Structure 1
């Protein structure tokens, strides 16, 4: 008997604008110990599906059946569901900061889960929590047990959320983007921990992620969703090697891992349809390169193939290859002009100094680095190694304890307040979270126009004209000048951040994990945009990321940071082909990439039935 089985599950969410058909007629089943992956673009219904299963959508209209250990979860009372959540079904949410209470220590929040379902002594609960914190990669777990969420990095907070979900050893764990904020080594630790639980305890895992490379390496079965529908379902090996649905093929073709460094990525064109009134026929037809005339008017059949794949599509054969080319684009060498020169930069928190470092915690331990005009320098390393702190030192947001940073030949440490304000025009940042970096109460035109206002460069009609020019430059509709950030998708919000960074024509743009929260198709669009802007405007980038495939694709040189120090610096291909430092080799060994595609040898069509969705 399946541990979890969904039968014709649909979720409708009433809103002021109408009913959002978030999930439509989705069915699947999970066996004990299986890792089941769910993939798809933002807004495809992945998270809504799992939240409906757990009863976390009180205003939604949920129909169908969800059987867990023989009980229909949709028919349970709130108190019965409450007893199952946590003890029998663990949940790892995507945003750890909004899921952790800022006023309580992380340890107390984990032990609260234990005390809510078990009668154990406080000392026993504390020891269990500390042991699990150590297993998910929290160093000095006994000391960090009493820390607050704001004292952890984003990756460490995600590890706390994972520990909270696993603390009661539930038979089913639902993980919603559990490794998005984690670097490759910690990601490998978490995947190994989940795999250990599967093997030792028979734990079943549902993993929602946009990281197709990760899914291809760990998932037994994968379900691909689009616009609330289940587009493809089947064994991971068959699905990633030779997808049967054009949408799956398009997602795989968008991954930088499938291209030579510098090549133009091929994202899926267009945007997903509105879930208020989805189109007749196949919902993916308007964006599909393989669409047939009947795709726009007739509901597609469910085709079942001999290798276990199931595809909601009119195609009987393999879809057209979405990637037009994987050839690299030659890039002119970086100019000799040094934009940024960093010499012996140190930073100590807690009152330490160069002569008495023991008085505080040293975050940066003597950084030496140069960035040249027109180049992209990648900065990689584990969460907490000092990457984002170093970026903020370069931007003048954090004063260094010792060392020297020169921007365009000027020593930043010698500047007064007025000179610093002028110099900040030369350095701009694009942050990881495109929504958190934008004021939700202000209109996009005002957000992008802030640099002009702050530096008194343009006002009134002239400012509006410049803002709309920037919006058009980054691929946004200038007519959306008066919209709020919530009215844009994740990829569009990241474009807003890039437009704001470009406003003052800076000499250096620092990208701090700019695409880690984006699905692969939107990620490809943003990376293409960054490259074209750099080529056209002769921009210099510092690109911080834990995604080694992305770093290799966009960067000329890569600096590897460990514990506040640069341990290796080389051009991208040299570093990947012949890494010198053991830590670099560890990072590369922990990274995963999507396996190469090949023809579906021997695949035959077993059955084909038209599926009508009301």
Structure 2
């Protein structure tokens, strides 16, 4: 049974610069129990399409049909749409921090969603909230349901958003990058939970993601979008396993896998401006197999024997594969040379205390004696589940959080007791890229000012010189320099992450701490950023601490890896040894969960026991 049918959908969004053509002639169907994947770069129209289905594009000019259970959502009265939204149609937003109200506990926000659509008592709604939080991997849900969003890590906030979306057992669930901030074990649990919802409740799921490896292992059907166009569509294994369109092939090549070496082959150039209506093939300026006709006329839809449909002038899949999958030159990793230690962490501990419960003082030990060394010019990867202390350790090294005990030295100088003036000087050499791009950017300031702050604070550049250097940084990280005067809210999630990276690179620091730097980026830009930071490291001798839940990315960039669990280092070693011969059971568990074939088979990462009863 078809739950959602989108027909010839066109979306134009009026702006001060003109109409943004966010979607053009997009059609697809989603059936009950189906997982439908949508992939593409930031700005391709994925999230706008999701918002149109939810009725969250006021002022947009929308034509075509969006049929949900036989009713056209575009013609429904606002009150009817409000009854459907959250109840029959739910959405998991991409940015969990901005989607959760900071003044209310997560329990209050989930129970509010329940009681708006159901006549249940507050106590019963709270029990449902606790049960759902447990299912999505929130430990001690009975206690944590009374906590506020800022008391959760980025990954755990995403789990709260997922719980809020599924608590009403919707018929259609739109998941916009639902596993971006999650570590691999929790990601596997969430996928298992979504699959259980599909089987038991018949829920149809639309998953928007840039993780092609994940999508290829779970999607029944998939659609690849570019500049508002449906470039490729068909069965998930066919579209993502044997792509027909050069754009899909380019995305696939840009994705790091567990055997990737050297620079990643990224798609050259940038997506076109959606303010200009495309008369020919939108991908032609970046396509390795472009022909003259591609620049002159809109391509037809080609249908292949395996069920894939491709918006392309090329007729033969084999010729497309040969043209678009030319082997990229491999850049060998530099041979390890003896090097001095630029960051040394010695027995660092962090304990939060002072909280009183039933007259007793509670102390929470977050870090339990962590030690590590970072050699100059090297990358040390840090992996582990959300809440294990990775980001907390990074903030201590960056001087944003004082440790309870232990010592941190940077380039031979202890930084634990530095005064404010000394830290301002130290930050010329130590910079950080945060996990949450929106939360780390001032929403009231323009992007040019945000990226230029390091120059202003350190009194490095002024006036036109500062503006030119900011524009150069924007171009380096894949942002349009013309967007210098825009605000962070006018950028997609991936673009906001690039703003944070540009700001960190401004002063050419010797040490950069990357806390999930590419988790919000689509694969083509991810490849560009990973290649960029590798090139900068080779040319400038930079040292990196690289925190990520994406084990393929960590393996690609790191010469050594440490594995953290519950505030402790449980294993460390050079990258290849750790991947091929892990010693700790927890490390083996992480590597197993990162295997897409493991995900597809279900593995042992099932959701917590219980049934998803309607």
Q: State whether TM-score is above 0.5.
A: yes
**1:238 aligned partner:** 238
**Partner of residue 300, structure 1:** 299
Does the Cα contact within 8 Å between 2:383 and 2:563 map onto a contact in 1? yes
1:568 is the counterpart of 2:567: no
2:557 and 2:110 mapped to 1: Cα distance?
39
Name the SS for the 1:425 alignment partner.
coil
Q: How many residues align?
A: 590
Cα drift, residue 484 of structure 1: 5.8
How far apart are residue 592 of structure 1 and its match? 4.0
| Structure 1 gap segments, 5+ residues each | 596-614
Deviation at 1:419, TM superposition (A): 3.3
Alignment of 1:61-460 (within 5 A): 61-257=61-257, 260-261=260-261, 263-318=262-317, 319=320, 320-322=323-325, 324-325=327-328, 327-351=330-354, 359-444=362-447, 446-457=449-460, 459=462
Match of 2:594 among 591, 601, 604: 591
Contact 2:232 2:311 (C-alpha < 8 Å) held by counterparts: yes
Q: 1-side partners of 2:146 and 2:568: how far apart?
A: 28
Q: What is the alpha-carbon distance in structure 2 between the residues aligned to residue 121 and residue 484 of structure 1?
A: 42
In the aligned structure 2, how far is the partner of 1:455 from the partner of 1:401? Answer: 29
1:89·1:172 contact (CA, 8 Å) conserved in 2? yes
Give the whole-Å Cα distance in 2 for the aligned partners of 1:302 and 1:468.
39
Shift of 1:493: 5.1
Q: CA deviation at 1:56?
A: 1.4
Is the contact between residue 338 and residue 373 of structure 1 (CA under 8 Å) also seen in structure 2?
yes
Q: Do the aligned partners of residues 122 and 580 (structure 1) sit closer, same or farther apart at CA in structure 2, a change above 3 Å counting?
A: same
Q: Is the 8 A contact 1:92 1:161 kept in 2?
A: yes
Aligned to 1:537: 540
| Distance of 1:467 and 1:63 partners within structure 2 | 39
- TM-superposition CA deviations, 1:421-467 (whole Å, max 9, x none): 33333211122344543335445554444334433455556656765
Give secondary structure in 2 for the equivalent of 1:11: strand
Residue of structure 2 equivalent to 1:4: 4
Shift of 1:481: 6.5
Output the CA distance in 2 between the equivalents of 1:115 and 1:490. Answer: 31
Q: Distance in 1 between matches of 2:484 and 2:10?
A: 36
Task: Pick closer, same or farther for the CA change 1:471–1:196 going to 2, 3 Å.
Answer: closer
* 1:471-486 pair list within 5 angstroms: none
How far off its partner does 1:342 sit? 1.0
- Distance 1:404-1:82 versus aligned 2 partners, 3 A rule: same
**How well do the aligned residues superpose, as a CA RMSD in angstroms?**
2.5
Q: Which residue of 2 aligns with 1:612?
A: none
What is the rounded CA distance, in whole Å, between the counterparts of 1:83 and 1:481 in structure 2? 40
Per-residue CA shift, 1:178-234, capped at 9, x if unaligned? 111111111111100000111122111110111111101111110111111111111
Q: Is the 8 A contact 1:175 1:205 kept in 2?
A: yes
The residue matched to 1:543 in structure 2 has which SS? strand
> The residue matched to 1:164 in structure 2 has which SS?
helix
Alpha-carbon separation, structure 2, partners of 1:533 and 1:252: 24
Structure 2: stretches of 5+ with no match in the other structure: 599-614
Cα distance in 2 for residues equivalent to 1:308 and 1:478 = 41
In the TM superposition, what is the alpha-carbon distance from 1:412 to its structure 2 partner? 2.0
Q: 1:58-101, CA deviations, whole angstroms, 9 ceiling, x for partnerless residues?
A: 21122111222122222211111111122211211111222222
Give 1:473 deviation, angstroms.
Answer: 6.4
Q: Partners of 2:109 and 2:588 in 1: how far apart?
A: 36
